[in-house]
Chain A
Amino acid sequence: MDRPDIFDCAIIGGGVTGCAAARLLSKYGLSLALVEAAEDVSMGASRANSGIVHAGYDAAPGSAMARLNARGNAMFDQWCGELGVPLVRCGSLALAFDETDQRSLEELYESGLANGVPGMELVSGGEARALEPLVNPDVIQALWAPTAGITSPYQLTIGCWENARANGLATFFDTRVASVERGDGHFILNADSGSSVRARYVVNAAGLYADEVARLFGDQSFSIKPRKGEYILLDKDGSAPKRVLFQAPSVMGKGVLVSPTADGNAFAGPTALDQTDKSDTSTTGEGAAELRRLALRSAPGLNLRAAITAFSGLRAVGSTGDFIIRASGIEPRLIHAAGIASPGLTSAPAIAEEIVNILANQGLRLKAKPDWNPIREPIERFAGMTRERQAEVIASDPRWGHVVCRCETVTEGEIVEAIRRGARSLDGVKRRVRAGMGRCQGGFCAPRVMETLARERGVSMDSITKFGGGSRMLVGPIRESVGGRAVEGEARA
């Protein structure tokens, strides 16, 4: 792809918001750049996320969150269909245990009506248990929202990015914007690495760091606070719930939920803890204990012993209490998409539309490209193929017959394809094709994936990272005299 000296528009931040905006902007005859601090897309809130497509009754009527959630939810089928991203409209139940909870559900129902959420129903405890047998027998009422669903947040982000890239997007990874200069009718985004990207318009989708990016432009109109959410992920052992289970809401977020994932696991989470450190995604013993207690309250039969990993994500909570999606008051050609906490994932397609509209209003000329291709083919999954298809792909490339990740049945062919499409680290491969995502958490396949990464990228084993930066897996080769090759020869003998 030709890289112009000055891009028409640069997007700072490769999360779901930035990548969805990039995808929609790639429809038009624009030169586009994505500037991302990390080594891959989907490295912030979009990677550690509930993956829920919310029905949209939570947000206060009249808010941007309410409007964009409802609109975003309705756009999901088309987006996931075009991008080859999983979407299951499994519906959600918000559970009431007492009269206070019941009043909360009624309020949710009313705001859902005001927000235009279709199909909601207040159902009895018995009806709730008929919809989801795991529901606690103590539940007396539930709010059923059939349009709620589950998706894969990182698959959606990667899908948007790959689609935008196929339609001309240029991407700058490992590029953290450290300062901004004004050029002649454009901004100069200087990275801490020394490189710079020039663009006439800038979209600020920097997630947790959106306030700091705004400040680089002299805009101090908002701030972003991290709110940690811890999760426990459970093995695929057939005990996952079929619906998303909320509890009647608390002040902090939407409460702990129990949900299936788009990949067939179950999870409990998230907690909600306000903190100041924007990089602290550690998990805590207290968080795990709280999750276990609250998850079992919703679903006493949930098999928490099947936990395969715990992780946490940071929501980017804006100082206005709502999404901050507007042109900057300081720089009219800087568009903020900030404070994208929940329901940010659900809203992403609608936020992307909003960003395009604002850019147009601010004078960016949008001319639809006749050759824009909305389709992104997902990486074909060996485990999901028919036997005939398996035979066909193995015949054309035998690596598709070599299972590398045994927990998730991922073949070398899929891993090579993930690398070809941009995975540079173990976690990059894991998010794309699930190698290392299963019950052994990479204990078996990590060394093999590292070997494949080194070979395909033409780099040394000891340069392979878990997720870029300083996350190197190995410190170096061992002393030559006892090198592994000799041992391998012996094993063969």
Chain B
Amino acid sequence: MTGIRATDVAVIGAGPAGLAAAVAAVDKGANVLLLERDARPGGILQQCVHNGFGLHYFGEELTGPEYAARFAGEAARRADRVSFLPDTMALSLDSDRTITAVSPREGPLTIKPGAVVLAMGCRERARGALGIAGTRPAGVYTAGAAQRLVNLDGYLPGRRVVILGSGDIGLIMARRLTWEGAKVLMVCELMPYSSGLNRNIVQCLRDYDIPLYFNTTVSRVHGSERVEAVTVVKVDGKRQAIPGTERVVECDTLLLSVGLMPENELTRMAGIQLDPVTGGAVVDERRQTSLPGVFACGNVLQVHDLVDHVSREAEIAGRYAAGYAKAGTLPMPKLSVSAEGFTRYVVPQRISAEPEGMVDLYFRVGDAVKPARLTVRTADGKTILTRRKKAMTPGEMEHVKVDVSKLTGDVVVVTEAVGNV
């Protein structure tokens, strides 16, 4: 029961990132242990029964389970090289890459891999992080918890619903709950723009006449046993409540869709350097973290809005994890990549000494910019490329391809607002 398992690559998490990483690692000749805390692979996609997945990767629209099943199928076809460990929770990661884990079937496990891919995903921000005042009754849910209850358990969490935050899961749940006969009264968004995808605002709110109020938040929860109402209030430019704009909205449920946070407990345990902005590890273009042989991809690295990008990112991590497991080394970072202007962060944050071909830089802006100019330059002032964009919003991840042979120094990704021409 207490055996030590050796493997080329251990992948922690069998959501879309972990599955794609495992497949890519096998295709580069590695044996893979794929650890998953749930009984089945797929991660959060299992409960995302709506469609819209795969437009970029597969060129067709799939549901979450269908998207996951494609990759799970690829992993299953490589069953001789991928050991899938279901119901397995990784408990610790050491700086020598030793993993301890536990599962009902295997008991406590120690895994000594040649390389590790971190693919633990993210979690939702909860009420406590927002400091919403009032009572603590039943009926306050994160959007993802409500989604699981509806889509996997088959239960309705409430009948009159206010949603705080216009993140994608909240938007999707507005539509889902409406389909199930609940009345979604409104979506309140603290910011003057949505953090969700525009297509979701159209397809999940507008098509169902659900109002979306910007510059608006929930300041108080009412009700002793079950939610009876919430106080909704307008906020000013500093996101402070404007006195006199309070409105009590009767409802039995408050759903929170107020942001996702990479789940980096294991990363922290291993002493891996984290980016305070993304909440994920600092990585190079191979997705190698500051701890050699440990890679990160998917929502544990940066919160994505499209699973298609997760799969691509994970394939990079999986491929190089296999390479590391074989060679025992990879080129170390040489250049740093940083954000300037409206650019909030860039992934990867490093570029190694021997980059291969073109490198995709992924980034988000910190505020809505319309129109915008994007510049990639080196720290010594050489402009690599510029682009004009009609609009950029924090809700949509951007990316740009850079020819690394042109890089003579550290890289800066600048987003500026430009006047209308």
Contacts and interface: CB of A to CB of B under 8 A. Distances in A.
B135 to A, nearest CB: 5
A472 B156 contact: no
A469 interface: yes
Secondary structure call for the B interface: mixed
A487 B49 CA distance: 7
Contacts of B139: 473
Contacts of A279: 224
A490 interface: yes
B137 A466 contact: yes
Nearest to A473: B138
A216 interface: no
A471 B252 contact: no
A398 B1 CA distance: 12
A357 interface: no
A461 B154 CA distance: 10
Contacts, number: 170
B155 A394 contact: no
Contacts of B40: 491-492
A310 B128 contact: yes
Contacts of A384: none
A378 to B, nearest CB: 21
Given A391-B108, A402-B104, A233 B128 contact: yes
Interface stretch (B145-153, B195-203, B354-362): B145-153
**Residue from the set B49, B150, B154 with the largest chain A CB neighbour count within 10 Å:** B154
A443 B150 contact: no
A475 B107 contact: no
B138 A472 contact: yes
Interface in A132-154: none
B104 A447 contact: no
Given A288-B131, A311-B136, A473-B138, A478 B104 contact: no
A456 to B, nearest CB: 16
A395 B1 CA distance: 8
Interface in A365-421: 382, 387-388, 390-391, 394-395, 398-403, 406, 409
Contacts of B149: 447, 474
B103 interface: yes
A402 B155 contact: no
A307 B129 contact: yes
Contacts of B145: 442-444, 446-447
A130 interface: no
B37 A491 contact: no
Contacts of A382: 102
Contacts of B271: none
A398 B102 CA distance: 10
A466 B138 contact: yes
A194 interface: no
Nearest to A479: B180
B226 A451 contact: no
A282 interface: yes
A interface, over-half SS: mixed
A185 interface: no
Contact of A281 (B136, B138, B156, B179): B136
A70 to B, nearest CB: 35
B68 interface: yes
B102 A394 contact: yes
B134 A399 contact: no
Contacts of A311: 136
A399 B129 contact: no
Contact of A488 (B69, B91, B152, B219): B152
Interface residues of A, number: 65
B96 interface: no
B106 A401 contact: yes
Nearest to B91: A409
A476 interface: yes
Contacts of A284: 133
B66 to A, nearest CB: 8
A483 B149 CA distance: 11
Contacts of A218: none
Contacts of A441: 126-128
Interface in A450-481: 450-451, 461-462, 465-467, 469-479
Given A394-B1, A395-B107, A491 B150 contact: no
Contacts of B148: 447
B89 interface: yes
Interface string B206-249: 00000000000001110011100000000000000000000000
Nearest to B103: A401
B110 to A, nearest CB: 9
A406 B144 contact: no
Contacts of A287: 133
Contacts of B263: 406
A287 B134 CA distance: 11
A391 B2 CA distance: 7
A395 B221 CA distance: 45
Interface of A: 233, 279, 281-285, 287-288, 307-311, 382, 387-388, 390-391, 394-395, 398-403, 406, 409, 439-444, 446-447, 450-451, 461-462, 465-467, 469-479, 482-485, 487-488, 490-493
Would you list the 3 A-B pairs with minimal beta carbon distance, nearest first? A484-B154, A398-B104, A309-B128
6 contacts: A402-B104, A409-B89, A440-B126, A465-B138, A467-B225, A475-B157
Given A402-B104, A485-B154, 14 more contacts: A287-B133, A309-B126, A390-B108, A391-B2, A394-B108, A401-B108, A403-B37, A450-B153, A470-B226, A475-B252, A476-B155, A488-B152, A491-B42, A491-B46
